[in-house]
């Protein structure tokens, strides 16, 4: 229920998470979604991050992929059946999401045509 209530529902979880600037923290960004991702911390700042840094991160990810795949496979479970109350909650959440998106698009199109 938790993963279906997030704004990122329907999106795949990240495989590789890169944090620049030498900070060894996630800053609560995609915290739940990156639980089984490879976390790569780079000491360079974002403007100095080059394709070589990206290739290094991908290389390290590839080396740990078999271990990540085994962990994900061992943790994959069948989604539990949701109660009627939970299903109704998720439907309301989706309706509100699309209403908000429609409102934003309407306001955006008004600003563009002004």
Give residue 65's pLDDT.
Answer: 93
User: Where do the domains of the chain lie?
Assistant: 1-80, 81-114
Q: 24 and 41 in contact (C-beta within 8 Å)?
A: yes
Q: State pTM to two decimals.
A: 0.65
Give residue 41's pLDDT.
Answer: 95
* Pairwise CA distance, residues 111 & 93, whole Å: 27
pLDDT tens track for 26-35: 887 888 888 8
* Pairwise CA distance, residues 53 & 21, whole Å: 12
pLDDT tens track for 45-77: 999 999 999 999 999 999 999 998 888 888 766
Give residue 9's pLDDT.
Answer: 77
Mean of the per-residue pLDDT values of the chain: 84
Poorest-pLDDT segment among 33-37, 74-78, 92-96:
74-78
């Amino acid at each position: 229920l938790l993963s279906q209530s997030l704004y990122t529902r329907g999106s795949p979880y990240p495989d590789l998470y890169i944090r620049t600037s030498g900070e060894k923290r996630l800053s609560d960004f995609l915290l739940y979604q990156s639980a089984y991702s490879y976390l790569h911390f780079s000491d360079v700042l974002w403007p100095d991050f080059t394709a070589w840094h990206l290739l290094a991160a991908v290389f390290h990810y590839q080396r740990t992929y078999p271990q990540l795949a085994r962990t994900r496979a061992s943790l994959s479970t069948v989604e539990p059946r949701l109660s009627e109350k939970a299903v109704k909650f998720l439907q309301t959440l989706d309706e509100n999401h699309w209403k908000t998106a429609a409102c934003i698009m309407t306001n955006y199109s008004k600003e563009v045509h002004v």
